[in-house]
Amino acid sequence: MSILAWIILGLIAGWIASKIMHGQGSGLVINLVLGIVGAFVGGFLFGAVGGSGITGFNIWSLIVAVIGAIVVLWVYNAIVGRRSA
State the pLDDT at residue 5.
78
> What DSSP string describes the chain?
--HHHHHHHHHHHHHHHHHHTTT-S--HHHHHHHHHHHHHHHHHHHHHTTS----SSSHHHHHHHHHHHHHHHHHHHHHHHHHH-
**pLDDT tens-place string over residues 26-80:** 677 887 888 888 888 888 888 888 777 666 778 888 888 888 888 888 888 888 8
- Integer Cα distance of 44 and 34 in angstroms: 15
Exposed / middle / buried, residue 4 (Cβ in 10 Å: 0-12, 13-18, 19+): exposed
Closest CA to 69 of 29, 41, 27, 30: 41
Q: Is the dihedral of CA 28, 23, 15, 76 positive or negative?
A: positive
Q: How confident is the model at residue 24 (pLDDT cuts 50, 70, 90)?
A: low
List the domain boundaries for the chain.
3-84
State the pLDDT at residue 44.
84
The average pLDDT across 7-35 equals 79
Residue 8 above 60 pLDDT? yes
For the question of whether the overall pTM of this predicted structure is more than 0.75, the answer is yes
